[in-house]
Structure 1
Amino acid sequence: MLDFNSILGHKSIKDHLQKAIAEGHPNHAYIFNGEEGSGRKTMADTFAAALCCQSDSSDKPCGKCMACMQAASKTHPDIIRITHEKSRIGVDDIRNSLLGDITIKPFSSNYKIYIIDEAERMTEQAQNALLKTLEEPPAYAVIILITTNTGAFLQTIMSRCVTLQFKPLETRVISDYLMENEKLPDYFAKLCAAFSGGSIGQALKFAKNEDFEQIKNECLYYLRNIDSLSIDVVNDMVDTLGKRKADVKVYLDLMHLWFRDILMFKATQDANRLVFLDELMVIKRQASKYGFEALGTILDGFYTVQDRLNANVNFDIAIQLLLLKMREH
């Protein structure tokens, strides 16, 4: 069921949209900007359902009327989703799906809502075609542009839309959600939340990804024993990472979080602030061995390796040096 209360975070955005619904004066065009998995699509669907809701209640969408059920099943005739199969949304896509339809009044609602996902893919010609409608929209029309990049829009498009910025959620909010709704153990929920970048969608992907669990276990095997590994084992790890380039970033992020935990515990002695809480005894032992300067050097080394990875330059050498630093300190 579509419900504002079930959407994690984004209180100011929910308040803004619910006020527009209550007053009966939604803007004619919105830009929902944020990272993938940040809740933009769910918010757009919920807002559209609320605008079409037939309930007399002030708490919309009610989730019970015919309009709400149609909205939830994506069959409401007045909620139009503009999709595309190509890498770009061309002028013909906008003309055929929006401009040719928007002059027809709503079928059963007071509003007609158009949702364009990945709107940053619109060509300049498509945006110019849309602009004419944004300048003189029908009173019943509401257009929602969902994007990860407002920089791709013409300034004239931006100036005619209300932009709502979907900020990353706090890791605590995400981990609490995963524990309550996905029944994840505390430790794994915190790990998925830490990896999510503030995106509940990304956190859920990690939580349900069996490869992530396997990579985590492999990485932890090395990390638990990093200060006593032989050179041969270090070289084997470099070879493993070299062969699994698609997973390298996950490995690096796991290792970075591990050493961040060591530094955090060394500085605060507060176990509650650790991501790898289940590894507390190992974290304690390693925190007693590493000095602050060494930890700073290691953590800085992750950025060097990441830069080399992005540039595809001397990655194997960079990761080998980093692993040796971890081992030697």
Structure 2
Amino acid sequence: MSTFADIYGHDKIKEHLQKSIELDKVSHAYIFNGGLGAGKKTIAKLFAKTLQCEKHGIEPCNECHSCIQADSSNQPDIIWIRHEKPGSIGVDDIREQLIGDMQIKPYSSRYKIYIIDEAEKLTVQAQNALLKTIEEPPAYGIVIMLTTNADIFLQTILSRCVRLDFKPVADELVVKYLKDNYDVTDYETKFAAAFAQGNIGRAVTIVTSGDFAKLKDEVLHVVRYAQEMTVSEIMAEVKNIANYKLTIDDYLDLMAMWYRDVLVFKSTNDVNPVIFKDELSQIKSQASHFSYEGLQDILNSIDKVKIRLKANVNFDLVIELLIMAIKQAV
């Protein structure tokens, strides 16, 4: 994205950031809070690029030396914090890359901007180490934390940061973004928008990822044939689904979306709200077969699977029980 005007949605966040630049009231610490693919990283990059732009406007000029450096991820005063441990950002990471480095004045820009992606992984010790820097930063120091869960931060951190919550974008904006930027059909854009639930990044993954297409095919196989599967076929299917452990939330969301389609069609006899429009004959067939109670039982079973998997219950057993619940629903 070259300018704030190119960003789809998030109008209040864009207005807040641009106004703070215009009035020279930029905070020294921000929390960008929102789901994966919500646009946090895109807007953080654009905000940092604009702050460092040599023209000092509320949009980056995209022509000066700093903007060109930022576009190639080589702006020396825009620093992304790295962490070697995949599950946590430790106190040493923060001390070495941020606290110590911030004592050195900017190389060529007005600010030194530190962006911490996956900031929910900051340990308590790392947060405490960061706190003093946030409380007493040098005039040029700015910290931007990107997180999917701001509630995990210490209250002392939250109270010293400007928190901006990235809310879902309207489906029509998601559809427009996909049509403007990708060669996809109307069905693909509408399906992606419905599944992504206002998350443009997630919608892009849906229309561009071969892995997601495979995942969708696997789900469709189960929802089409679960009621006809033998016990041995169910066990084989459980092993197939185990290949999708890392994306099991997407798997279960697709499955839930299917049975909601069946329930909606059964209730309304209207194809317009149906998301799986290329599977209408199967949707209609299942709508006539299942009772309202049976469909609700399946949807409840999917919700229970999510809860059990978060509690680290045996994966294969939970999935086997889910398929059995679908098989036995009437």
Match of 2:10 in 1: 10
Gaps of 5+ in 1: none
CA RMSD between the two structures: 2.7
Structure 1 range deviating more: 161-170 or 297-306 = 297-306
Q: Residue 245 of structure 1 aligns with which residue?
A: 242
Structure 2: how far apart are the matches of 1:151 and 1:325? 40
5 Å-filtered alignment, 1:1-329, equals 1-55=1-55, 58-86=57-85, 87-196=87-196, 198-224=198-224, 230-232=228-230, 235-247=232-244, 249=248, 250-310=250-310, 311-312=313-314, 314-315=317-318, 317-326=320-329, 329=330
SS for the counterpart of 2:157 is: helix
- Deviation by residue 1:174-228 (Cα, 9 ceiling, x = unmatched): 34422332222222333333443543323333333323323323443454466xx
Moved more, 65-74 or 287-296: 287-296
Aligned residues: 323
Describe the superposition over 1:218-243 as per-residue Cα deviations: whole angstroms up to 9, x where unpaired. Answer: 443454466xx5353x7514521234
Is the partner of 1:164 in helix, strand or coil?
strand
Q: Is the 8 A contact 1:308 1:318 kept in 2?
A: no
Render the CA deviation track for 1:219-270: whole Å, top value 9, x for unaligned: 43454466xx5353x7514521234313263443333211111222233344
Residues 42/320 of structure 1: CA separation in 2 closer, same or farther (3 Å cut): closer
**The 10-residue stretch of structure 1 (27-36 or 58-67) with the greater mean CA deviation from structure 2:** 58-67
Q: Which moved more, 1:154-163 or 1:172-181?
A: 172-181
- Within 1, Cα distance between the matches of 2:228 and 2:141? 67
Mapped partners of 1:48, 1:306: distance in 2: 37
The two structures have a TM-score, normalised by structure 1, of: 0.85
Q: CA deviation at 1:277?
A: 1.4
Separation (CA, whole Å) in 2 of partners of 1:221 and 1:132 = 54
Match of 1:244, SS state, is: helix
Secondary structure, counterpart of 2:73 in structure 1: coil
CA distance in 1, matches of 2:301, 2:151: 32
Cα gap change, 1:320 to 1:306, in 2 (>3 Å): same
1:78–1:107 Cα contact (<8 Å) kept: yes
Q: CA deviation at 1:51?
A: 0.7
How far is the alpha carbon of 1:80 from its aligned partner?
A: 1.8
1:8-61 residue CA offsets vs partner (Å, 9 max, x unmatched): 3222111110111111210111111222222111111100011111226x5511
Contact 2:205 2:212 in 1 (8 A): no
Deviations 1:70-91 (A, max 9, x none): 1111111221222222344333
SS across alignment from 1:273: coil
Conservation of the 8 A alpha-carbon contact between 2:228 and 2:327: no
Secondary structure in 2 matching 1:145: strand
Amino acid at match of 1:72: D
Aligned residue identity for 2:326? L
Q: 41-50 or 77-86: which moved more?
A: 77-86
Structure 2: how far apart are the matches of 1:94 and 1:179? 41
- 1:166 CA displacement: 1.6
Q: TM-score of the superposition, structure 2-length normalised? A: 0.85
Q: CA deviation at 1:161?
A: 0.8
Measure how far apart 1:307 and its partner are: 4.0
1:159 deviates by 1.2
Does structure 1 conserve the Cα–Cα contact (< 8 Å) formed by 2:31 and 2:146? yes
Amino acid paired to 1:230:
E
Give the 3 Å change call, closer, same or farther, for CA 182–238 of structure 1 in structure 2.
farther
Residues 1:118 and 1:258: Cα distance change in structure 2 (over 3 Å) = closer
| Partner Cα separation in structure 2 for residue 65 and residue 124 of structure 1 | 40
Q: Give the superposition deviation at 1:123.
A: 3.2
Equivalents in 1 of 2:96, 2:252: separation in Å?
A: 46
| Unpaired stretches in structure 2, ≥5 consecutive residues | none
